[in-house]
Chain A
Amino acid sequence: MIERGDITGCLAGKILRINLSNQNIGTEETKKYAQKTLGGRGINSLIMVNEIASQVKWYDPENLLCFGVGALVGTLAPGSCRVDISTINVFSGGKGSANVGGFWGPELKYAGFDNLIIIGKSRKPVYLYINDENVEIKDASLLWGKDIYETENILRKEIGDEHIKIACIGPAGENRVRGSAIMIDTTKAAGGSGVGCVMGDKKLKAIVVRGHGKIEVAEPERFMRVVAKCYQQCKDEPNTGMMRKSPSNLYSDPEWKGWNTNIVVKNGQDDQWERENRIRLMNCKTGVPNMQKGVRACYSCPIGCMPYMEINKGKYKGSKGEGFWINTIMGHACRFDISDPESVVESWLLTNKFGLDGDYVAAGLSWVFELYEKGIITQKDTDGLELTWGNGDALNKLIKKLAYREGIGDLLADGMVEAAKKIGHHSEYYLIQVKGQPSLEPFRVPKGWALAVSTSPVAGRHLRGATMGGDRYGPKPRPGNFGVTDYQNQAKGVVWQGKTKELEDNLGICNYVGTWSGANFLTIADFAELINSGMGLDLTEEELLNHYALIGRNLEKAFNALHTNMTREDDLPPERFMKEEVKSGPYKGFKIDEDKYNQMLDEYYELWGWDKKTGMQTRSGLKKLGLEDIAEKLVKYGKLIDK
């Protein structure tokens, strides 16, 4: 294990532990965890592997809900605002993790805490109020039932401090809807893995934070030199301007290549959306761009990617709030064939308001629309809603039913896999899911994307290695082949990108500002210099990529092995995308070739140091990382290749 010197900067210093069953509140030092994993998600994963017994399910009081603020968060490192929220994944039963930006994470560090670990369950609704070292568990009876906007407004009034930062759940989380998010600063969703469902199960409505303290770095002048350099890189990077205007700018061009590589139409029936629909949705004068009233940024972010939207006509006139993403287009428009701009924007604002994961809503509810099209369910089952493609109003009504478990919403709230079992009629075939979690992602065209999403340890999401395509990185190509549609060498790119994401989540750097979005944003060398000058360490790029990043991924892999029966089969893409071809457009005829995919998977396992045949971890691999204790646990459960 690499341990060079003491960590002397960047950390707030303490981990806050709260037991909601007996109301115990305690703290411990962060350093011993940070020495192994640096911070953020790494610390959450380490605590989960060590402390959650294999038989514990997501709804047991022994499940932990872990908030991990990255090691660089609270400093001026660009884009350093991210929080990892980890818990047992309500879909897969393995590792759950959702990552979110905003202002809540930095505030927790200014209050003195790097991580917040919650165990137990409250009998009645409560919220936490963390005001520096003063931590209280307070009654939330009056907040229960309120949506995200209402909850924030009541708490601000009650506490009387406009600078408090709030993480909370909406009615969806309270009702234990599986695809519930934890909302940060009203509109930023920690969406995946059902983290909001776990928070609701613990009867924890909100976590309010106010911090008045400071974060110090080991070598201030050296740290500011690298910060200034990184800001300049972000300023010079051509993709900064593109991302700041995205998606309204990019997708208002109906010929934008993203329309062909990123899109899944009608729940996976095609990967090509009609040109007239693109124009109607994204028309500069009458479509989505017309509703964008400004753009906002997260804490210390030099990109600024969050549109502020206001609906200015039609039946949803007056709805407003932050957030409209490429995923909104992929999910709430194309997936339902909805081109009415107002209803698409409204559907996204509704997911924020009710505390739902937008991707879950898109992937799950578009499946319900397809079942309706195929006659597997009818208006009798949908409480009278006509779930026809393009019907935005019906989608918005269905979103509300899901959040409040009304009618058909109650059936869907326990997860689409469970719903498919009840509905029957081969309905599970049409559900696009990976490891139990409905997945919004494109698979058939971008092969690296398909590999990363299918193998993600947190089930069917792209932020564990999905790659964007070679031309995005300009003159500095990345490892592997970044031709979007190729199979060959793709695993190299996915594993490299996956490793960098491990580091970004431990440091709390947004991957837009990190390695994902362009060659001139932050590099691994920049991460090393920020860590070394900020935390007082002396690490190399090689150590970051081939030690710390491997620890992060192996902890999650081990958690999945200890808590589930996942096998190689669970790392395959949805069956539908290996059988059905893209029907139209430039990629007509594309589907995933299972043999070629399996070759990518072989290479992927080898590059992570796992057994090629089974995908399982090996004793020698874990020993190299100083994770012998984890290897012993895996042996006990027969989940380790003993070589």
Chain B
Amino acid sequence: MKIIIDTNLCYACKTCQLVCSFHHTKAFWPERSSIIVSRNPQDGTIKWRMSTTCDRCINEKEPLCVKYCIYGALQVVKEVKEHD
């Protein structure tokens, strides 16, 4: 499975980045998050990046970033593997 974002629904509140850091460290430590969100208030753009350290929140019912995204911008989808 993988986590995808619809940036049209994203409000750039960075809650996903913050809760992800809590999953990894039991502290609020955005630098240790698997997610990085940035936004430009001048041109309105939002950038959302997921790093390879994401473990889809093993031991949780659903990834915490998805659970806490109140705007519905994040969702879990099944990963389709490409075959030769």
Interchain CB contact under 8 A, A214 and B42: no
B residues less than 8 Å from A153 (CB atoms): 42
Check: A85 CB closer than 8 A to any chain B CB.
Answer: no
- Which of B19, B25, B31, B44 makes the CB contact (< 8 A) with A76? B19
Interchain CB contact under 8 A, B38 and A297: no
Contact with B along A180-202 (1 / 0, CB 8 A): 00000111000000000000000
A311 to B31, CA, bound (A): 36
Q: Which of A162-190 contact B (CB under 8 A)?
A: 162-163, 185-187
Interchain CB contact under 8 A, B25 and A322: no
Q: In the complex, what's the smallest C-beta–C-beta distance from A77 to chain B, in angstroms?
A: 10
A213 to B30, CA, bound (A): 8
- Which of A294, A300, A320, A321 makes the CB contact (< 8 A) with B14? A300
Check: B26 CB closer than 8 A to any chain A CB.
Answer: yes
Among B21, B25, B70, B71, the most chain A Cβ lie within 10 Å of the Cβ of B70
A224 to B60, CA, bound (A): 13
Check: A220 CB closer than 8 A to any chain B CB.
Answer: yes
Interchain CB contact under 8 A, A300 and B70: no
Q: In the complex, what's the smallest C-beta–C-beta distance from B17 to chain A, in angstroms?
A: 10
A299 to B28, CA, bound (A): 13
Contact with A along B20-36 (1 / 0, CB 8 A): 01100111111110000
Check: B75 CB closer than 8 A to any chain A CB.
Answer: no
A residues less than 8 Å from B14 (CB atoms): 103, 299-300
A301 to B71, CA, bound (A): 10
Check: A596 CB closer than 8 A to any chain B CB.
Answer: no
- Which of B13, B43, B70 makes the CB contact (< 8 A) with A320? B43
A322 to B45, CA, bound (A): 11
Interchain CB contact under 8 A, B11 and A304: yes
B residues less than 8 Å from A215 (CB atoms): 27-29
Q: A110-B30, A213-B29 are in contact. Are A321 and B42 (CB under 8 A)?
A: yes
Interchain CB contact under 8 A, A152 and B42: yes
A231 to B8, CA, bound (A): 22
Q: Which of A245-304 contact B (CB under 8 A)?
A: 293-302, 304
Check: A212 CB closer than 8 A to any chain B CB.
Answer: yes
Interchain CB contact under 8 A, A224 and B68: no
Check: A48 CB closer than 8 A to any chain B CB.
Answer: no
Interchain CB contact under 8 A, B25 and A214: yes
B residues less than 8 Å from A214 (CB atoms): 21, 25, 27-29, 31-32
- Which of A74, A163, A298 makes the CB contact (< 8 A) with B28? A74
Q: In the complex, what's the smallest C-beta–C-beta distance from A530 to chain B, in angstroms?
A: 13
A residues less than 8 Å from B68 (CB atoms): 76, 231
Nearest opposing residue in chain A for B29, CB measure: A214
How many residues in B have their beta carbons less than 8 Å from beta carbons of A?
Answer: 27
Interchain CB contact under 8 A, B27 and A298: no
Q: In the complex, what's the smallest C-beta–C-beta distance from B54 to chain A, in angstroms?
A: 18
Check: A581 CB closer than 8 A to any chain B CB.
Answer: no
A301 to B70, CA, bound (A): 9
B residues less than 8 Å from A110 (CB atoms): 29-31
Check: A590 CB closer than 8 A to any chain B CB.
Answer: no
A38 to B21, CA, bound (A): 25
Interchain CB contact under 8 A, B38 and A163: yes
Check: A216 CB closer than 8 A to any chain B CB.
Answer: yes
A298 to B12, CA, bound (A): 8
A residues less than 8 Å from B44 (CB atoms): 293-294, 308, 310, 320, 322
Check: A430 CB closer than 8 A to any chain B CB.
Answer: no
Check: A472 CB closer than 8 A to any chain B CB.
Answer: no
Q: In the complex, what's the smallest C-beta–C-beta distance from A218 to chain B, in angstroms?
A: 12
B residues less than 8 Å from A302 (CB atoms): 13, 15, 70
Check: A75 CB closer than 8 A to any chain B CB.
Answer: yes
A149 to B65, CA, bound (A): 31
A152 to B43, CA, bound (A): 13
Contact with B along A122-149 (1 / 0, CB 8 A): 0000000000000000000000000001
Contact with B along A303-324 (1 / 0, CB 8 A): 0100010100000000011100
A152 to B39, CA, bound (A): 13
Q: A235-B70, A304-B71 are in contact. Are A220 and B26 (CB under 8 A)?
A: yes
Check: B18 CB closer than 8 A to any chain A CB.
Answer: yes
Interchain CB contact under 8 A, A298 and B38: no
B residues less than 8 Å from A163 (CB atoms): 38
Check: A234 CB closer than 8 A to any chain B CB.
Answer: yes
Interchain CB contact under 8 A, B28 and A321: no
Interchain CB contact under 8 A, A224 and B22: yes
A residues less than 8 Å from B43 (CB atoms): 320
B residues less than 8 Å from A162 (CB atoms): 38
Interchain CB contact under 8 A, B31 and A297: no
Q: A152-B42, A214-B29, A308-B44 are in contact. Are A300 and B13 (CB under 8 A)?
A: yes
Which A residues form the contact surface with B (CB < 8 A)? 74-76, 103, 110, 149, 152-153, 162-163, 185-187, 212-217, 220, 224, 231, 234-235, 293-302, 304, 308, 310, 320-322
28 pairs, A vs B, C-beta closer than 8 Å: A75-B28, A76-B28, A110-B30, A149-B42, A153-B42, A163-B38, A186-B41, A187-B41, A214-B25, A214-B27, A224-B22, A231-B68, A231-B70, A235-B70, A294-B44, A296-B39, A297-B12, A299-B18, A300-B13, A300-B15, A301-B11, A302-B15, A302-B70, A304-B71, A308-B41, A320-B44, A321-B41, A322-B44
Which B residues form the contact surface with A (CB < 8 A)? 8, 11-15, 18-19, 21-22, 25-32, 38-39, 41-44, 68, 70-71
What 5 pairs between A and B have smallest CB-CB spacing?
Answer: A214-B29, A297-B13, A297-B11, A186-B41, A304-B11
